[in-house]
Amino acid sequence: MVDTSIVTKFAKPDASWFVESRLGMFIHWGTYALASRHEWVKSHEKIPTDAYMAYFNHFDPDLYDPKEWARLAASAGMKYFVVTTKHHEGFCLWDTKHTDYKATKTPYGKDLIKPMVEAFREAGLRVGFYYSLLDWHHPQYTVDRHHPMRDNAAERARNKGRDMRVYAQYMRDQVRELLSNYGTVDIIWYDFSFPGEDGKGREDWESDKLYELTRTLMPNVLIDNRLDLPGSADFVTPEQFQPRAQPVDERGAPAVWEGCQTFSGSWGYHRDEHTWKSVPQILWMLIDGVSKNGNLLLNVGPTGRGEFDCRARERLAGIGEWMKRHSRSIYGCAAAPPEFKCPPDCRLTYNAKTKRLYVHVLTWPMKHLWLTGDSYVQRVEYAQLLNDGSEVQIKGIEPWQNENSGNVSREGAIGLNLPIIKPPADIPVIELFLK
Ligand code: GLC
């Protein structure tokens, strides 16, 4: 039986660097990049391991340049990255001693993780390792409802001879390598549990032991919430949707959270998927998240030749263009104090250290933006556009109503005088200096 009390034996790490960073890069890379039709292709298409080995046998990312990846991430404003050291297919990107199903045994022949970690660290980003709890290659991993062989009666029958305890030990051996040989690891992203019928959860993973090992080797590493072990999460991970409010933890308290999102629908490189989000849409996701105290982990699925594909590069450049001038409303920011009411078609973020409030204007209004409430009236001292530092004049209650206008009560509001033309930014931001 899993000992759930294990979580109380360790101090919780300090997540403040994580919360201040707000934007990170997820990287899903493996031999599925060659199939180019989703990282779950082995399961979706129920491909037997023999046939799936074609991607391993042809894996040769000759254009892989981790310094270029790190440069692209840093210039998009990302402060940390999380890479799939192993995804559900079971392929390992590092030179593990515990299997031959690893990068060093492919035609490419080299460890992919070491140079990646070095390049990203050098570019100033913190390091995160994603490690899949699922493994569709390991011989002792039993066939379950997600497994590629789920409908194969003979493979099902072989479950009797399989021992998940051997697999759980294999995971610990691998995690020991990852947390011992690559310097400080800031995040470990275990993925994922699906307890219940024909599923897997903490008893299968021996989550208590995995948790204990993780905390022992790397006391300050942040652990995600997918181990199926109550109290083990340092942050929660809404995926592929935008939460309507800040998520809560198991006890109902506001949780540290990170939304993980794809550019399109797939995490792994997907050649023929065309539902790519636009730059303004992605910025909206980032801003909306920060306005609810959350981070954004934005995923790139590099190609089989080892590059970020052109659609990703184009999005990253657009994000970087905006972040260059607007990151002040993101880094170190959180939800605005509740006394500041968010105006329509806007999102607010707040930096408690600098006492600045940021109004992200999603739809550019005509001439005036009204900020309603005494807190604005009493506390806003100066306002400027963030893209160019140009003053936004603050008008109180204006006597501009003429006989045709009727009377609208503008009590307890300030009006910001905006230019008619929307500033040249995907989402313009007004910076308010508070008294
Ligand atoms: C899911 C998927 C997976 C992806 C992950 C990212 O659990 O199984 O393919 O890696 O979410 O959050």
Residue to substitute in 29, 191, 260, 298 for testing ligand 1 pocket (most ligand atoms within 8 angstroms of CB): 191
Structure tokens at 432: 């308010």
Q: Whose CA is nearest to atom 5 of ligand 1?
A: 191
* Claim to verify: residue 87 and residue 184 sit in the same structural domain: yes
pLDDT value for 396: 60
Residue 361: domain span: 346-434
| Domain-embedded: residue 334 | no
Write down how long the chain is.
435
* Claim to verify: residue 42 and residue 152 sit in the same structural domain: yes
Comparing CA positions, the residue from 210, 189, 191 lying closest to residue 200 is 191
Structure tokens at 242: 């935008």
Task: Confirm if 342 and 287 have CB atoms less than 8 A apart.
Answer: no
Say how many domains are in the chain.
Answer: 2
Quote the CA–CA distance of 247 and 235 in Å, as a whole number.
10
Instruction: Give the domain-ending residue among 281, 296, 329.
Output: 329
Q: Would you call 79 helix, strand, or coil by DSSP?
A: coil
Quote the CA–CA distance of 77 and 21 in Å, as a whole number.
9
pLDDT value for 405: 60
| Domain-embedded: residue 192 | yes
* Claim to verify: residue 245 and residue 318 sit in the same structural domain: yes
* Claim to verify: residue 39 and residue 179 sit in the same structural domain: yes
Within 13 Å and on the Cβ side, how many CA atoms surround 122?
13
* Claim to verify: residue 306 and residue 389 sit in the same structural domain: no
Instruction: Give the domain-ending residue among 329, 364, 389.
Output: 329
b/e per residue 415-427 (b: at least 16 CB within 10 A): bbebeeeebebbb
The series of mean pLDDT values per 10 residues for the chain, 435 residues long, is 97 98 98 98 98 98 98 98 99 98 98 98 98 98 98 98 98 98 98 98 98 98 98 97 94 96 97 97 98 98 97 98 98 98 97 98 94 93 98 74 56 88 98 97
Is the dihedral angle over the CA atoms 148, 152, 156, 161 positive or is it negative? negative
Q: Would you call 54 helix, strand, or coil by DSSP?
A: helix
* Claim to verify: residue 161 and residue 20 sit in the same structural domain: yes
pLDDT value for 34: 98
Comparing CA positions, the residue from 85, 103, 83, 84 lying closest to residue 95 is 103
53-76, pLDDT tens digit by residue?
999 999 999 999 999 999 999 999
pLDDT value for 408: 61
Instruction: Give the domain-ending residue among 297, 329, 361.
Output: 329
Quote the CA–CA distance of 211 and 198 in Å, as a whole number.
23
- CATH, residue 93: 3.20.20.80
CB of residue 386 inside a 6 A radius of ligand 1? no
pLDDT value for 397: 54
Q: Whose CA is nearest to atom 4 of ligand 1?
A: 267
* CA 48 to ligand 1 center in whole angstroms: 21
Position of tokens 């329509």?
344
313, 314, 316, 318 alpha-carbon torsion, rounded to 10°: 160
